[in-house]
A and B are shown apart, each in its own frame.
Chain A
Amino acid sequence: MDYSGAGELTMPWLFSSVGRFSSVGKMTGQSLGSTYTNATNWPSGNRAFFIPFYLPAPYNVRKVWWHNGSVVSGNLDVGIYAPDGTRLYRLYDGVTSIAQTGTNTVQGSVQGMPWWLDEGDYYMAFQLDNGTGRIGCNSTGTISVFKAAGLLSQNVGSYGLPATATFVTLANAFLPWFAFSDSPNRTP
């Protein structure tokens, strides 16, 4: 077989907050200690959660999706940050809000895309502007495990992910599940 191998990588057609590129997904020896659920309210209105991830090769994000739980409410935002807290991309463009639409389904958006990401370290971010809506998540368990994965949060004062994140220690065990894809035409 004529194949050199070293350094060659196949990027998947999606990466997620629990996939192998995320700090959560790489914890192969320990779960978060909680069962995936669609029935937990967003912990606090306008709170944003940040999940570290590493891209081993460039990726062109052309769609994002998430799981709406058993209650939907208000507006959400999804974005990508540099490790220093600088926002690189977000769905919300300051004009057109991303309304949470449809219970118990996977909702997607392509607003403002594509998002080009070079190889490197990032945070993926998710915000909901109220404490009523529900996103598929891990929401119980030992918070130390969530912190061990490097998860951070911020109580943002208003809707929309901020231009610069002020990372604070995680206040509660919570991890929303969402994914990014380079295929704009498929929502699973």
Chain B
Amino acid sequence: MSDWESNGLITPAGTIAITDDCSLGPALMMCQATFGLAVVGTAKRIIFVPFTLDRPYVSKGGWTACGAGGSAGNFDVGVYDEFGNKLASTGSFAYASADNAISASWAATELAPGRYFMAQEADGTGPGIMRWDTSLSETWRINGCFEYSDVLTFPLPATMSFTSVSHSQMPFFGIYGKAGVM
């Protein structure tokens, strides 16, 4: 047996997306959900997706993948600690009707190795997003996601809710750091 110390599970560089293996990545691969463009559908529904960091990460903003054809609206993307306290968020940024990963920055926030949730919310039903849909909300519940679907507030609240996911749609979003741009 070697005296190799690292187990090799080091979280990714650049952006951290829900597709990474420190988040929903493997489950997204295995569920074979339909991926494509759809409108948000439910206003002010917040999705919380778990991820872990094995090393410090300086976060500088959030992003969400959009597509053409939707109507006007705004997004907020943020990161919460494992207890549900908001650490950083973009605040409201506008949907642009085009194939794009739209983003907004926040003040550089260092995330220590640990457990986190990334969150995404839209203030209206109309923006076009890239998303997965299995038609089964349990796909995301099994993998540790939560939801906040009946709030009347936008942008993201200071404290997250650990309410069961009730929707089957999973938007493609994440956070970014390092270079400070998307």
Mark A residues whose CB is within 8 Å of B: 1, 3, 5-14, 16, 18-20, 22, 24-28, 31-38, 56-57, 65-67, 104-106, 136, 138, 175, 177-179, 181, 186-188
13 contacts between A and B (CB under 8 A): A3-B55, A3-B56, A10-B54, A16-B27, A18-B26, A18-B31, A18-B143, A24-B30, A28-B25, A36-B136, A38-B138, A106-B138, A106-B142
Alpha-carbon distance between A18 and B30 when the two chains are bound, in angstroms: 7
Q: How far is the CB of A171 from chain B (nearest CB, A)?
A: 20
Return the 6 tightest CB-CB contacts between A and B, nearest first: A25-B26, A7-B5, A56-B7, A36-B31, A188-B141, A67-B138
Q: Which residue of A has the minimal Cβ distance to B144?
A: A14
Kindly list chain A residues whose C-beta atoms are within 8 Å of the C-beta of B82. Answer: 13
Interchain CB contact under 8 A, B165 and A36: no
Q: Kindly state the separation between the CA atoms of A37 and B31 in the bound complex, as whole angstroms.
A: 8
Q: Within the assembled complex, what's the spacing in Å between the Cα atoms of A160 and B61?
A: 49
Q: Is the CB of A179 within 8 A of B144?
A: yes
- Per the bound structure, the CA–CA distance linking A72 and B64 in Å amounts to 37
Contacts of B136 in A (CB 8 A): 36-38, 67, 136
Check A8–B55 contact: CB distance below 8 A.
yes
How many angstroms from the CA of A32 to the CA of B31 in the assembled complex?
A: 8
The residues of A that contact B143 with a CB separation of less than 8 Å are 14, 16, 18-19, 179, 188
Q: How far is the CB of B161 from chain A (nearest CB, A)?
A: 12
Q: Which residue of A lies closest to B21 (CB)?
A: A20
* Interface contact B7-A25, CB-CB below 8 Å: no
Q: Nearest Cβ in chain A — how far from B51, in angstroms?
A: 8
Tell me the smallest distance from the CB of B131 to a CB of chain A, in Å: 15
Total B residues in contact with A, Cβ cutoff 8 Å: 40
What residues of chain A lie closer than 8 Å to B144, measured between beta carbons? 12-14, 179, 181, 188
Assess the B30–A25 pair: CB atoms within 8 A. Answer: yes
User: Would B115 and A10 count as touching, CB distance under 8 A?
Assistant: yes
Given A16-B27, A19-B143, A31-B32; 19 other pairs, CB 8 A cutoff: A6-B5, A7-B6, A9-B9, A14-B144, A18-B26, A18-B30, A20-B21, A24-B30, A25-B27, A26-B26, A32-B30, A32-B32, A33-B32, A36-B33, A36-B136, A67-B141, A179-B143, A188-B143, A188-B145
Which residues between 143 and 169 of chain B lie within 8 Å of chain A, taking CB atoms? 143-146, 162, 164-165
> What residue of chain B has the Cβ atom nearest to residue A7's Cβ?
B5
How far apart are A140's CB and chain B's nearest CB, in angstroms?
10
Q: Which residue of B lies closest to A188 (CB)?
A: B141
Which residues from chain B contact A34 at a C-beta distance below 8 Å?
32
A7-B6, A56-B7, A188-B144 given as contacts; is B54 within 8 A of A19 (CB)? no
Complex Cα distance, B139 from A138, in Å, reads 11
Residues of B within 8 Å of A28, CB to CB, are: 21, 25-26, 29
Q: How far is the CA of A19 from the CA of B26 in the complex (A)?
A: 6
What is the bound-complex CA distance between A173 and B105, given in angstroms? 45
B12 to chain A, nearest CB (A): 12
Interface centre among A9, A14, A33 (most CB of B within 10 A): A9
Decide if B21 touches A106 in the complex (CB within 8 Å). Answer: no
